Chain A
Amino acid sequence: KNEVEQSPQNLTAQEGEFITINCSYSVGISALHWLQQHPGGGIVSLFMLSSGKKKHGRLIATINIQEKHSSLHITASHPRDSAVYICAASNTGNQFYFGTGTSLTVIP
């Protein structure tokens, strides 16, 4: 079993839809990261959170420490949001565990 599980693996949405990507982890963490990877390989760190909720523009990330679960929400999705979204857990020793990613396609 992987230390970090993501769902769904693939997601297709119509422009404007509300999107949720889920992440569950089984390791003790100091932080949970949400990453975005566009075709070509570049990775951008969207959020790093250890509790509660963070918002940046149309993106919202939440974490429930007791349930070891995090979600990434995209409101009013847009074709430029099409990318792979990766959840990663880091522990106090800065060891990283990655989910397998969610490939999102937003259709105009």
Chain B
Amino acid sequence: KAGVTQTPRYLIKTRGQQVTLSCSPISGHRSVSWYQQTPGQGLQFLFEYFSETQRNKGNFPGRFSGRQFSNSRSEMNVSTLELGDSALYLCASSLQGDSPLHFGNGTRLTVT
């Protein structure tokens, strides 16, 4: 069974631009969650989607948004990028959200 796939692996953007990251969950998994990891703040929860609905959201500004498609694939969008958005963005999938998480390898975003 294929694991969680995140694309792209690396991304360099300029301040003010926007970016879209993609996450393909394990087949059959309906929950996809997103996380930001930085050296200063560690891992932080962004949001979780289940059956195309956002069920929960962390404490991030509205510039961070996401969506989930009918095939459970998810995208995360960050608009008006700031230097502080440079981070490793991880997504994880699980069967229902209250089952073990399976993480992707992450997308490393650098904002210059």
Contact = CB atoms under 8 A, between A and B. Distances in A.
Interface of A: 30-31, 33, 35, 40-45, 48, 86, 88, 90, 93-101
A90 to B, nearest CB: 8
Interface of B: 31, 33, 35, 37, 42-45, 48, 55-56, 58, 88, 90, 92, 97-103, 105-106, 108
B44 A98 contact: yes
B1 to A, nearest CB: 15
Contacts of B105: 40-42
Contact of A41 (B44, B98, B106): B106
A43 B100 contact: no
Q: Would you call the interface of chain A mostly helix, strand, loop, or mixed? A: strand
Contacts of B56: 93-95
B48 A43 contact: no
Contacts, number: 57
Q: Would you call the interface of chain B mostly helix, strand, loop, or mixed? A: strand
B58 A95 contact: yes
Contact of A94 (B37, B44, B88, B98): B98
Contact of B45 (A41, A42, A45, A97): A97
B103 A94 contact: no
B43 A95 contact: no
B58 A48 contact: no
Given A88-B43, A93-B55, A94-B48, A41 B101 contact: no
